[in-house]
Amino acid sequence: MAEKPFTVLDLLDMELPGHNSLNLECIGGRKGLSKCITVPDINRPGLALSGFYECFAFSRVQLFGLEEAAFLKKLQSEKNYESLDKLFTYDIPCIVFTHDLYPDKDFLQRAENAHIAILKTSLDSTEFSIRALRVLSNIFAPKKTMHGVLVEVYGVGLLITGHSGVGKSECALELVERGHRLVADDIVEIRCVNGNSVLGQGANAFISHHMEIRGLGIINIAQLYGVGSIREQKEIQLVIKLSEWDDSKVYDRVGNKQEMTDILGVKVPVIEVPVKPGRNVPIIIEAAAMNERLKYKGLDSAKDFNQNILKWIESGEAQTAYYGSDDSY
């Protein structure tokens, strides 16, 4: 569910880029613009117009395409208003006509009386459905905020986490200096999309590309390094956990045990990188990003290393190297 009620007016007023624009216009039932949309889905009410209301998904946005509009005209020409009257007894959030179709005055009057907003779009039914489902899925996607820095390194979305003062922002700044891109600093808003991927972006669009560097203050990454150094959102594919070096702790030196963390029900790989003077953490993070890309291509360095070691032992070369070629058994 969305954090706050999402109304028909919110859908109508959304400023979306050209390839996502819904091209919506309100043509009637303006009293219904305050109604809430509670389901991220749409419904084509063909069966309902024919009189079958047993499984009518009235809580969804109702879509009238060419077929529904033609059937509506048929009902009106036959003066068969029974199913149409019943349609407006349901608490429908809104009705959308595609192909720039325009219902008659009688339909609009019914909508006005029922306080149901009537919208129209120039898009065809298929294209509108694709765009509307994408928009609604993003709006109603599960969300949370996390403390960290989200960057894109070699095309991989990295969420850098760690306690305050460990050097997350300084590390991200070095990565931007090396040609990578910043998505968000300090507070990252995360959404689960399609149940199998998590997208991160700045919690506040006005300050997401600003960065706080202790001793320096607030800097604007886009102004300092250009618009090519930022992006609006990115899928989180790897979590880098920065921690202070602990001499008593045994760190993974081979990498054959992949740890995972749960973010909104999605398992994301996590790597702990200990920080201490002399370690070039940005280079380590770059290597981690490239190694993650190799895993996507089916190449796992740690597994390949283990397999090569086993082959070396089985070949007998390991015993020869250890005992020497002249030793007898």
Is the same domain home to 172 and 64? no
Query: Does pLDDT of 17 surpass 70?
Result: yes
Average pLDDT taken over every residue of the chain = 88
- The pLDDT assigned to 24 comes to 95
- The pLDDT assigned to 141 comes to 87
Residue appearing with tokens 């009688």: 106
Is the same domain home to 162 and 55? no
The catalytic position among 74, 144, 147, 163 is: 147
Q: In which domain, by residue range, is 190 found? A: 141-298
Is the same domain home to 164 and 276? yes
Query: Does pLDDT of 2 surpass 70?
Result: no
Answer yes or no: is 194 within a domain.
yes
% the chain with pLDDT above 90? 61
Here the tokens at position 63 are 């879509």
Q: Please write the tens of the pLDDT for every residue from 314-325.
A: 676 655 655 565
| Three-state secondary structure string covering the chain | CCCCCCEHHHHHHCCCCCCCCCCEEEEECHHHHHCECCCCCEECCHHHHCCCCCCCCCCCEEEECHHHHHHHHHHHHCCCCHHHHHHCCCCCCEEEECCCCCCCHHHHHHHHHHCCEEEEECCCHHHHHHHHHHHHHHHHCCEEEEEEEEEEECCEEEEEECCCCCCHHHHHHHHHHCCCEEEEEEEEEEEEECCCEEEEEECCCCCCCEEEECCCEEEEHHHHHCHHHECCEEECCEEEEEEECCCCCCCCCCCCCCEEEEECCEEEEEEEEEECCCCCHHHHHHHHHHHHHHHHCCCCHHHHHHHHHHHHHHCCHHHHHHHCCCCCC
Query: Does pLDDT of 251 surpass 90?
Result: no
Answer yes or no: is 2 within a domain.
no
* Residue 147: active-site member: yes
* Residue 303: active-site member: no
Answer yes or no: is 329 within a domain.
no
Is the same domain home to 92 and 224? no
Answer yes or no: is 239 within a domain.
yes
Domain boundary among 122, 139, 156: 139
Query: 131, 124, 122, 117: which is closest to 21 by C-alpha?
Result: 131
- CATH number, domain at 154? 3.40.50.300
- The pLDDT assigned to 320 comes to 63
* Residue 99: active-site member: no
The catalytic position among 19, 253, 257, 297 is: 253
- CATH number, domain at 25? 3.40.1390.20
Is the same domain home to 182 and 115? no
**236 or 310, higher pLDDT:** 236
Overall number of domains in the chain: 2
Q: Please write the tens of the pLDDT for every residue from 162-181.
A: 998 888 999 999 999 999 99
- Count CA within 13 A, CB hemisphere, residue 250: 2
- The pLDDT assigned to 305 comes to 63
Domain boundary among 90, 116, 139: 139
**13 or 310, higher pLDDT:** 13
- The pLDDT assigned to 102 comes to 92
- The pLDDT assigned to 99 comes to 96
* Residue 253: active-site member: yes
- Tell me the average pLDDT across 132-146: 90
- Tell me the average pLDDT across 63-71: 94
Answer yes or no: is 325 within a domain.
no
Pairwise CA distance, residues 57 & 67, whole Å? 18
Query: Does pLDDT of 41 surpass 80?
Result: yes
- Tell me the average pLDDT across 49-56: 91
- Where does the pLDDT of residue 120 fall: very low under 50, low under 70, confident under 90, or very high at 90 and above? very high
- The pLDDT assigned to 205 comes to 76
Answer yes or no: is 318 within a domain.
no
- Count CA within 13 A, CB hemisphere, residue 222: 13
C-alpha distances (whole Å) from 168 to each of 162, 229, 281 are 7, 17, 10
The catalytic position among 168, 191, 210, 234 is: 168
Query: Does pLDDT of 247 surpass 90?
Result: no
Query: 129, 125, 171: which is closest to 150 by C-alpha?
Result: 171
The catalytic position among 181, 185, 186, 191 is: 186
Is the same domain home to 40 and 154? no
**Taking the CB of residue 42, how many other CB atoms lie within 10 A of it?**
17
- Where does the pLDDT of residue 292 fall: very low under 50, low under 70, confident under 90, or very high at 90 and above? confident
Is the same domain home to 172 and 152? yes
Q: Please write the tens of the pLDDT for every residue from 195-218.
A: 889 999 998 877 878 888 888 889
